[in-house]
Amino acid sequence: MAAETILNKVIETASTISEKVDEIKEDIWGEEQKLIIEEFRESSSQKVKDILNNLNNSSELFDRAGFHLSNLNISLGIPPEISSDFKAIKIITMEERETLINEVADNRIVTLVMKCLFKANDFYDKIKFGTYKLDVVNITLGLTPGINMNFQR
Protein backbone atom coordinates (compact mmCIF):
# COMPACT_ATOMS: atom_id res chain seq x y z
CA MET A 1 0.00 0.00 0.00
CA ALA A 2 2.80 2.46 0.91
CA ALA A 3 4.61 1.77 -2.37
CA GLU A 4 1.39 2.48 -4.28
CA THR A 5 0.94 5.81 -2.45
CA ILE A 6 4.54 6.80 -3.21
CA LEU A 7 4.09 5.84 -6.86
CA ASN A 8 0.93 7.95 -7.07
CA LYS A 9 2.77 10.94 -5.57
CA VAL A 10 5.64 10.49 -8.04
CA ILE A 11 3.21 10.34 -10.96
CA GLU A 12 1.35 13.41 -9.69
CA THR A 13 4.62 15.34 -9.22
CA ALA A 14 5.88 14.37 -12.68
CA SER A 15 2.61 15.54 -14.20
CA THR A 16 2.85 18.87 -12.38
CA ILE A 17 6.46 19.36 -13.52
CA SER A 18 5.52 18.53 -17.11
CA GLU A 19 2.70 21.08 -17.05
CA LYS A 20 5.05 23.71 -15.60
CA VAL A 21 7.66 23.06 -18.33
CA ASP A 22 4.96 23.43 -21.00
CA GLU A 23 3.82 26.68 -19.38
CA ILE A 24 7.39 28.03 -19.28
CA LYS A 25 7.99 27.08 -22.93
CA GLU A 26 4.79 28.87 -23.94
CA ASP A 27 5.81 31.92 -21.89
CA ILE A 28 9.18 32.07 -23.63
CA TRP A 29 8.14 31.19 -27.18
CA GLY A 30 4.48 31.84 -27.79
CA GLU A 31 3.82 32.77 -31.41
CA GLU A 32 7.50 33.58 -32.12
CA GLN A 33 8.48 29.93 -32.56
CA LYS A 34 5.90 29.38 -35.30
CA LEU A 35 7.00 32.53 -37.12
CA ILE A 36 10.69 31.56 -37.00
CA ILE A 37 9.92 28.09 -38.38
CA GLU A 38 7.86 29.66 -41.15
CA GLU A 39 10.72 32.03 -41.98
CA PHE A 40 13.21 29.15 -42.28
CA ARG A 41 11.11 26.81 -44.40
CA GLU A 42 12.54 28.57 -47.43
CA SER A 43 16.21 28.16 -46.60
CA SER A 44 18.72 29.32 -49.16
CA SER A 45 22.13 30.92 -49.00
CA GLN A 46 20.56 34.24 -49.99
CA LYS A 47 17.99 33.93 -47.18
CA VAL A 48 20.76 33.23 -44.65
CA LYS A 49 22.79 36.18 -45.97
CA ASP A 50 19.75 38.46 -45.73
CA ILE A 51 19.09 37.43 -42.13
CA LEU A 52 22.74 37.89 -41.13
CA ASN A 53 22.80 41.36 -42.71
CA ASN A 54 19.50 42.18 -41.06
CA LEU A 55 20.78 41.21 -37.60
CA ASN A 56 24.12 42.96 -38.10
CA ASN A 57 22.47 46.16 -39.33
CA SER A 58 20.20 46.15 -36.27
CA SER A 59 22.94 45.86 -33.65
CA GLU A 60 22.38 49.45 -32.45
CA LEU A 61 18.69 48.65 -31.88
CA PHE A 62 19.63 45.57 -29.86
CA ASP A 63 21.98 47.73 -27.75
CA ARG A 64 19.10 50.11 -27.08
CA ALA A 65 17.02 47.06 -26.07
CA GLY A 66 19.63 46.18 -23.45
CA PHE A 67 21.43 43.41 -25.33
CA HIS A 68 24.72 43.67 -27.23
CA LEU A 69 24.96 41.41 -30.30
CA SER A 70 28.35 39.79 -29.65
CA ASN A 71 28.44 36.71 -31.92
CA LEU A 72 26.75 35.36 -35.03
CA ASN A 73 27.16 31.68 -35.92
CA ILE A 74 25.98 29.68 -38.91
CA SER A 75 25.41 25.94 -38.96
CA LEU A 76 25.57 24.79 -42.57
CA GLY A 77 23.28 21.81 -42.08
CA ILE A 78 20.15 21.06 -44.01
CA PRO A 79 18.41 23.28 -43.22
CA PRO A 80 20.92 25.91 -42.08
CA GLU A 81 20.66 27.53 -38.66
CA ILE A 82 21.77 30.92 -37.45
CA SER A 83 22.56 31.43 -33.81
CA SER A 84 23.35 34.73 -32.18
CA ASP A 85 24.72 35.63 -28.77
CA PHE A 86 23.43 38.70 -27.00
CA LYS A 87 25.22 40.02 -23.92
CA ALA A 88 22.80 41.47 -21.37
CA ILE A 89 23.97 45.05 -20.78
CA LYS A 90 21.03 46.87 -19.19
CA ILE A 91 17.37 46.61 -18.26
CA ILE A 92 14.90 48.85 -20.05
CA THR A 93 11.37 49.88 -19.14
CA MET A 94 8.21 48.42 -20.64
CA GLU A 95 7.62 51.75 -22.40
CA GLU A 96 11.08 51.57 -24.00
CA ARG A 97 10.36 47.99 -25.07
CA GLU A 98 7.09 49.01 -26.71
CA THR A 99 8.79 51.91 -28.50
CA LEU A 100 11.50 49.60 -29.88
CA ILE A 101 9.01 46.91 -30.96
CA ASN A 102 6.99 49.57 -32.80
CA GLU A 103 10.17 50.92 -34.37
CA VAL A 104 11.13 47.51 -35.81
CA ALA A 105 7.59 46.33 -36.60
CA ASP A 106 8.27 46.21 -40.35
CA ASN A 107 11.34 43.99 -39.83
CA ARG A 108 10.02 40.52 -39.04
CA ILE A 109 13.29 38.84 -37.99
CA VAL A 110 14.47 41.71 -35.79
CA THR A 111 11.02 41.92 -34.18
CA LEU A 112 11.09 38.18 -33.42
CA VAL A 113 14.60 38.30 -32.00
CA MET A 114 13.82 41.35 -29.88
CA LYS A 115 10.67 39.73 -28.49
CA CYS A 116 12.68 36.59 -27.65
CA LEU A 117 15.28 38.71 -25.83
CA PHE A 118 12.58 40.44 -23.81
CA LYS A 119 10.94 37.10 -22.98
CA ALA A 120 14.30 35.67 -21.87
CA ASN A 121 14.77 38.68 -19.60
CA ASP A 122 11.24 38.27 -18.21
CA PHE A 123 11.90 34.57 -17.59
CA TYR A 124 15.10 35.44 -15.72
CA ASP A 125 13.12 37.89 -13.57
CA LYS A 126 10.80 35.01 -12.58
CA ILE A 127 13.58 32.56 -11.68
CA LYS A 128 16.27 34.78 -10.14
CA PHE A 129 18.49 32.62 -8.00
CA GLY A 130 21.45 33.31 -5.76
CA THR A 131 23.93 35.86 -7.00
CA TYR A 132 23.65 34.78 -10.63
CA LYS A 133 22.82 37.41 -13.23
CA LEU A 134 21.60 36.97 -16.79
CA ASP A 135 24.78 37.17 -18.86
CA VAL A 136 24.22 35.93 -22.42
CA VAL A 137 21.10 34.97 -24.36
CA ASN A 138 21.72 32.70 -27.34
CA ILE A 139 18.94 32.60 -29.92
CA THR A 140 18.95 29.91 -32.60
CA LEU A 141 16.93 30.62 -35.72
CA GLY A 142 16.01 27.65 -37.88
CA LEU A 143 13.44 24.90 -38.19
CA THR A 144 14.14 24.00 -34.56
CA PRO A 145 14.52 27.42 -32.94
CA GLY A 146 15.87 27.73 -29.44
CA ILE A 147 16.73 30.13 -26.66
CA ASN A 148 19.60 29.40 -24.29
CA MET A 149 20.45 31.59 -21.34
CA ASN A 150 23.81 31.76 -19.58
CA PHE A 151 24.09 33.07 -16.05
CA GLN A 152 27.18 34.44 -14.35
CA ARG A 153 28.08 35.37 -10.79
State pLDDT tens for residues 50-86.
Answer: 889 999 999 999 999 999 999 999 887 777 889 999 9
Q: What is the pLDDT of residue 41?
A: 60
Residue-number span of the structural domain to which 140 is assigned: 2-152
Q: What is the pLDDT of residue 104?
A: 94
Q: How far is 98 from 114, CA to CA, in rounded Å?
A: 11
Q: What is the pLDDT of residue 45?
A: 74
Closest C-alpha to 36, from 55, 60, 22: 55
* 3-class SS of residue 147: strand
Number of domains in the chain: 1
In which residue ranges of the chain is pLDDT below 50?
none
